[in-house]
Structure 1
Amino acid sequence: MDLNALLETTVSGLGFELVDVELSPRGRTIRIFIDAPGKEGGIDVEDCATVSNQLTRLFEVENIDYDRLEVSSPGMDRVVKKLEDFARFAGQSIQIKLRIPHHNRRNFQGRLLGCENGQVGLQLTTDGKEETVTLAFENIEKARLVPQFN
């Protein structure tokens, strides 16, 4: 079983959502971002400790060699990777980078309208004018929420 599948199974089995996994260039540091969508107040230190302790034992059993394991919440500027996330965070501000340019642009920032049939809707405001753009989910290289402070 590959590392991502192992992490997904373990983290979801503990009742959390695996948001992202980052490996250091040599794979010596494993950084895991978890979320608890239904939990009031989000992830706390105890949640991170629970997942960290479980993964430490699992890595020992599975002979996964690493120097450091970090478990944390995804933060306010969390990555958005899954189709379900694009639907879940509809209405929020998002920054998207594409693999292949769409109308000569690779970077977009606007209000996420949601996701339907593999297409991500985005409302942009440029020079005071609003326009709606539809981007193919498969073409999204990176997407991250943009926190709004009022």
Structure 2
Amino acid sequence: MSTTQSERLRELLEPLVNSQGLDLDEIAVDSVGRKRVLRVVVDSDTGADLDRIADVSRALSAKLDETDAMGEGEYTLEVGTPGAERPLTEHRHYVRATDRLVKFQLAEGDELVARILKVDDEGVDAEVPGVKGRKATARRIAFDDIVRARVQVEFGRKDNKDNKKEEEA
């Protein structure tokens, strides 16, 4: 039996989120003044557009209304996606970050910014961008060597799909 409210909420809401074709990434209950805010972060391999977020938000709200999981007091339900600079904490996060630039904090204390090329059960194959005209280098990073990893926002980078369309034209 779960002990924390977040764990009980996860047990209650995760099957519902999964039935909507999404993954439940995070649940947090925060106090904001006298009110509480229940933040639910969802995602999928194909992303989550506003319509999917709205659908899952309505379903979660209905489920919470029919239970006493949030207790008697008022609360606000916020449902969203992880955002552009999401931390990578689970294997599926690394898979979803393939072709993205990621900042790694490594166990030996080094920081490394590299593009994830491939993910398997043991780690990632990454490409470290070249500096000052040097060529990019390949690097293998084991999950055991990663302390933290966070996707980096890239401005002005064309999506691979856009590059392929231009090449075909």
| Amino acid of the structure 1 residue aligned with 2:20 | L
Q: 1:95 aligns with which of 99, 103, 108?
A: 103
- What code does the residue aligned with 1:144 have? R
Aligned counterpart, 1:60: 65
Q: Relative to structure 1, is the Cα distance of residues 108 and 34 closer, same or farther in structure 2, using a 3 angstrom cutoff?
A: same
TM-score, normalising length from structure 1?
A: 0.70
Shift of 1:11: 0.7
Structure 2 Cα separation of the partners of residues 140 and 15 of structure 1 = 29
* Structure 2: gaps (5+ residues): 157-169
CA deviations over 1:105-148 (Å, ceiling 9, x no partner): 2x332111332232233333464454444333255454332222
Seen in structure 2, the aligned counterparts of structure 1 residues 71 and 141 have a Cα distance that, compared at 3 Å, is: farther
* Aligned mate of 1:124, from 124, 128, 137: 128
> How many corresponding residue pairs?
143
Question: Which residue matches 2:154?
Answer: 148
The 1:5–1:47 alpha-carbon spacing in structure 2 relative to 1, beyond 3 Å, is same
Q: Mean alpha-carbon deviation: is it higher for 112-121 or for 18-27?
A: 18-27
Return 50-59 or 2-11, whichever deviates more.
2-11
Cross-structure match for 2:161: none
Structure with a larger share of its residues in helix: 2
Cα distance in 2 for residues equivalent to 1:38 and 1:62: 31
Instruction: Look up the match of 1:70.
Output: 78
Alignment match, 1:50: 55
The structure-2 alpha-carbon separation of the partners of 1:51 and 1:141, relative to structure 1 and needing over 3 Å to count, comes to farther
Q: Select between 121-130 and 1-10 the one with higher mean Cα deviation.
A: 121-130
Contact 1:22 1:32 in 2 (8 A): yes
Deviation at 1:71, TM superposition (A): 0.7
**What is the CA-CA distance between 1:14 and the residue it aligns to?**
1.4
CA contact (8 A) 2:116 2:127 kept: yes
Structure in which a larger fraction of residues adopt strand = 1
Aligned to 1:84: 92
Q: CA RMSD in A?
A: 3.1
- Sequence identity, in percent? 22
**Structure 1 counterpart of 2:17, which letter?**
V
Partner in structure 1 of residue 10 of structure 2? 4
Name structure 1 gaps, 5 residues minimum: none
**Deviation for aligned residue 1:36:** 4.5
The answer (yes or no) to whether the contact 1:89–1:114 under 8 Å persists in 2 is no
More contact order relative to length (CA 8 Å, sep ≥ 6) = 1
Does 1:135 find its partner at 2:154?
no
TM-score norm. by structure 2 comes to 0.64
